[in-house]
Structure 1
Amino acid sequence: MGLKPRHMLALALLVFALFLPGRASLPPFDRDEPRYMEATAQMLRSGNFVDVRFQDKPRYLQPAGIYWLEAVAVKASGVRRLNLTWPYRIPSLLAVVAVVVLTVRTGTVLFGVPAGLLAGGFLATSVLLTAEGRMATIDSMLLLTVMLVECALLRAFVDREHKRPTSVLTALTYWGAIGCGLMLKGPVILIPAFGTPLALAAVERRVAWWSRLRPAWGWLIAIAIVLPWCIAIGVVSHGQFFANAVGTNFLGKVASGQQAHGLPPGYHLGVFAIAFWPGSLFAVAALPAIVNRRMLAPVRFLLCWIVPHWLVFEAIATKLPHYVLPTYPAIAILTGACIATLPSTRFRPASLWGRGLLGAYGLVWLAVGLALSAAGPVLLWRLEHVVSAPALIATGGSLPLILIAAWLFWRQHIREAAWSVMAAAVVIYTGLFVGVLPKLETLWLSPRVAALVDDYRLCPATTVASASYSEPSLVFLVGQDTKLVNAVEAAAFLAHDPSCGLALVDRRDEAAFMGSLAQRSLRPIEYGRVQGLNYSTGRHLDLGLYGLTPP
């Protein structure tokens, strides 16, 4: 018996509740998220929904799709203050709920209810999706478009296996999802959309089934979705958008490691133990069974979903963990299917070296789990010098579950181990996002600077010149007109706007700042200080907020 609509609704509500904590209480995560938020806020202020900008600079990295979705979410929320974080995170919340539900449904259709539920659990509790699903960035929405593309491909594939016709709705879903993916992140969506059928064609040596998706006219749907905006931005930017987004951002990442993210092939395999935790050990243990079952049609399809995408992003020079996130639903389904349909003895390698490798990987997996479990109390003590009862409760609740899971896995009770460690992950994440991360004030410099500015705002249109701290979250929380300058330029700004201007200067830069003011015979007044760690750079900052003494 499959899952009924009421079961799917209950599952969606459960995933919604799992990903809700932290969405309103956490400030913007530097650096990408506040760039999206601020660009969307500027779009709403200006009414220009074509030319995406961050402050006065064009943001020609990807199309406008994600900014439109966030703008709709902000308008629908009814908030008046555009520097509140939670409305911008609504699209990612809805996307991650839909992805997990689709993963459960796909796993259920292919391998049965237990496999589908295990797959959804592995995906929903993975570290990478837990992080990405809470941020107002592209990746959760892109994952949803990939999931829709793959579901449409799978429907056509299964229809071929059962010799039945494929509906027009399936084709509309496929090409519509491609069009939406193009509006989110340009040609990236084409890697899974065409990579999966090409890989299947190479393995099976037949491509006729792809005609079920109506490629003769279906591509017009994708073009119709993306072309109007492409024409508009081409005119507005005089073609500069395409030179930057495709030439510099997309193709540049293939050739060289951008923004200090150049890493060798094998990076994504290396971080998999953390990124897919707690499911990573189970996926590795299931790998021999997956290889042995590769000729089964559903397994073949899922492997052709995973392998091309993974190889492409291992090959390109720029690497970030979320680049292979679109493969995680397929990995979760394959892992859940092996656990649900195979005897536990199949997870014990036959050879001594195989058991040794799995044991070593298990120790790494256990270390990751213990570190995550203890992270809350440790972070609060190290950064804030406080002992938190909620953090200790989360550790006390998750630690035994992780150890029990490790023991159950060792004893070959694989399914019980999986549910135990997934329960531990839920406890860990709830504790972190409710009781730990919002209280790490040492890390959240921008909200404290914004509060200090609000306390000493000299005029309604007061502008801050920040000489030592240039994170995008500062712009989002303090104001679009915030100046990101050096110490001498901050002094010049105060001289130009002595009545309303404020300057933010770190202790290291104060000598240059004060010297420049002294040359102008100006006397500063310090309104307050904010100390903390800029986690983007690893620098400890001691920021002073300055104005000028009235003459």
Structure 2
Amino acid sequence: MLKSKLTRTFFNRLLFLVFSAFLLLLPGRASIPPFDRDEPRYMQATAQMLETRNFIDVRFQDKPRYLQPAGIYWLEAAAVALTGTLPDRAVWAYRIPSLVAMTAATGLTAWMGAILFTPAAGLISGALLATSVLVEAEGRMATIDSMLLLAVLLAEFSLLLVLEDRSKDRETPIVTSLLFWSALGCGLMLKGPVILIPGLGTPLCLALVEKNGAWLQRLRFRWGWVVMLAIVLPWCVAIGMVSHGEFFQHSVGRNFLGKIGQGQEAHGAPPGFHLLVFILAFWPGSFFAAAALPFLWARRKSWQIQYLLCWMIPHWVVFELIATKLPHYVLPIYPAIALFTGAALCCSGDKWNWPQNKWGRIVLFSYGGLYLAVGMTLSVAGIIISEIVQGSVPAEAWLIAVGSFPLLILSAQAVIKMHMKRAAIYAMSSAVLIYTGLFLGVIPRLQAIWLSPRLTTLVDQHLLCPDTEVVSSSFSEPSFVFLMHGHVKFDNSKNAALMLASNKSCGLALVGRRDEKTFNEALLEKSIQVIEYGRVKGFNYSTGKWLDIGLYGVSSR
């Protein structure tokens, strides 16, 4: 694994890769409404933070949001404040930190690959990460995971610089140690102790594998932890005083430790979940990652591969063992997977390392068949979803299939001919077409699933007073709270009727067909007659139910 000198040509190509990743993450960023349920919770809490000027105590409506520290809310608040979009509830502004973080993660991965292996390996590693399904999804959402990924990458990058200094027998600059501990501190401000699993797990695991921990002194553990704590402690003290310790009970006791023993919010799954979903989450790189395992095994004694293994294995094992599982929990491992996959594609020469035994080859090519099926399913996903949800298929959905199918076939043919690097390029090109078409032309047009924007428009058209009271009994998604600027209350249909009886001139109620009987009975008891202003029909993808919701008021304009 000879490493080439990092030339100006490499950095020019790196800039092109970063710019391409940035462009790939743009489609749908402004046109797609908030994704329920986590994203609008972050958005609404951020908006309330700006409205109340309270940057310590994070809240969603009148309830404290004690899940993680305030780091991500500060970043989103800064983006919204700088763009001046708070009154507009423009979703793209809240998504800026994720865009920046995922774009930077692509470039950083490529740079690390160039240091570890070759510039070509680094560039294709960055491309594999940028085109993966999970990265494309998370990079478009105003959630915490993109920023956490960047924090992990910065810590791992500084560790890589330390290892390179060790290999060349040169002193490690103090700035490298500062970068490492600062990245951990920022990670703590984002998602608490989670950052420590890869951040400290990688160097400690590597020292254990090598049976040599002397090089850890290069990280300056004696004072580095002070830098880390200096970033997070001021806010911890402030929130501890404001919440009287309740934040730590919820965030650490319930949210962090509570996920270990049992699955929270119906997200429990047995060990092996992350391995199972990997074929989709890391597509189109998943098959090539599996095919690169013999390459990884053959070079397992090199410090470069040991570094990547110590990055991957502890984190993966921990999150396979805890009860609560979501695909993005192992996202911080994906750059490491992209790195060894890119190295295998660029450093294997003309002879690809296939599994030596018969069963290994059978398993790998069976996996390849599933991989191809996943790709083809993604190619026609726009057609299928549009037909089921909307009853019509936009031209973009057909173009996705027509453009991506041939590239997938070419990729499969290249694998058969053992032109693996070419096969990966074909697959990534197919992924680019799929993502661009889905996020730009298909998903924004699925009006049936975007109930919150349509309900908000209906309410806005029939506001009776400047301080109209709105109660929703059949739809209670966080995206509706965000788009309504927090001015909506979720309650049952009986209480919605009682609200109209007590606030006849300035009350509106949203009630679905399933709840109308109870609603009408309550109205009858109060001798109230209501007017239906309009209806919204659609599919709530969070619950898997079709809804038919009417807007009711006692008086008209």
**TM-score with structure 1 setting the length:** 0.98
Aligned to 2:342: 336
The amino acid that maps onto 2:444 is: P
The amino acid that maps onto 1:405 is: S
Shift of 1:76: 0.8
The amino acid that maps onto 1:2 is: L
Shift of 1:3: 5.0
Cα distance in 1, alignment partners of residues 294 and 429 from structure 2? 26
Cα distance in 1, alignment partners of residues 175 and 86 from structure 2? 39
- 1:195 aligns to 2:237 (yes or no): no
Aligned to 1:469, the other structure's residue is in SS state coil
The answer for unaligned runs of 5 or more in structure 2 is none
Shift of 1:11: 2.4
Cα distance in 2, alignment partners of residues 264 and 381 from structure 1? 34
Q: 2:424 aligns with which of 396, 401, 418?
A: 418
Aligned to 1:294, the other structure's residue is in SS state coil
Q: 1:38 aligns with which of 4, 22, 44?
A: 44
- 1:507 aligns to 2:513 (yes or no): yes
- 1:70 aligns to 2:76 (yes or no): yes
Cα distance in 2, alignment partners of residues 454 and 198 from structure 1? 57
**Structure 2 counterparts to residues 64-463 of structure 1, below 5 A:** 64-463=70-469
**TM-score with structure 2 setting the length:** 0.97
Q: Does structure 2 retain, via aligned residues, the 8 Å contact 1:41–1:82?
A: no
Aligned to 1:541, the other structure's residue is in SS state strand
Aligned to 2:494: 488
Q: Does structure 1 retain, via aligned residues, the 8 Å contact 2:452–2:480?
A: yes
Cα distance in 1, alignment partners of residues 502 and 216 from structure 2? 65
Q: Does structure 2 retain, via aligned residues, the 8 Å contact 1:531–1:542?
A: yes
Cα distance in 2, alignment partners of residues 80 and 322 from structure 1? 28
The amino acid that maps onto 2:362 is: G
Aligned to 2:20: 14
Q: Does structure 2 retain, via aligned residues, the 8 Å contact 1:406–1:417?
A: yes
Aligned to 1:258, the other structure's residue is in SS state coil
Cα distance in 2, alignment partners of residues 80 and 240 from structure 1? 29
Percentage identity across aligned positions? Answer: 56
Which has the larger displacement, 389-398 or 365-374? 389-398
The amino acid that maps onto 2:163 is: F
Deviations 1:296-317 (A, max 9, x none): 1111101100000000101111
Which has the larger displacement, 64-73 or 403-412? 403-412
Aligned to 2:329, the other structure's residue is in SS state helix
Cα pair distance change 1:403/1:424, threshold 3 Å: same
The answer for unaligned runs of 5 or more in structure 1 is none
Q: Does structure 1 retain, via aligned residues, the 8 Å contact 2:17–2:123?
A: no
Cα distance in 1, alignment partners of residues 21 and 352 from structure 2? 31
Q: Does structure 1 retain, via aligned residues, the 8 Å contact 2:472–2:510?
A: yes
The amino acid that maps onto 1:91 is: P
Which has the larger displacement, 377-386 or 129-138? 377-386
Aligned to 1:2: 6
Shift of 1:82: 4.5
Q: Does structure 1 retain, via aligned residues, the 8 Å contact 2:505–2:555?
A: no
Q: Does structure 2 retain, via aligned residues, the 8 Å contact 1:529–1:543?
A: yes
Q: Does structure 2 retain, via aligned residues, the 8 Å contact 1:344–1:414?
A: no
Shift of 1:493: 1.6
Shift of 1:2: 2.6
Q: Give the aligned CA root-mean-square deviation in angstroms.
A: 1.2
Which has the larger displacement, 41-50 or 212-221? 212-221
Which has the larger displacement, 514-523 or 345-354? 345-354
Cα distance in 1, alignment partners of residues 86 and 201 from structure 2? 44
Aligned to 2:448, the other structure's residue is in SS state coil
Deviations 1:29-77 (A, max 9, x none): 0000000000000001100000000000000000000000000000111
Which has the larger displacement, 392-401 or 4-13? 4-13
Aligned to 1:459, the other structure's residue is in SS state coil
The amino acid that maps onto 2:45 is: A
The amino acid that maps onto 1:71 is: A
Q: Does structure 2 retain, via aligned residues, the 8 Å contact 1:264–1:317?
A: yes
The amino acid that maps onto 2:377 is: A
Q: 1:522 aligns with which of 528, 532, 537?
A: 528
Shift of 1:319: 0.5
Aligned residues: 551
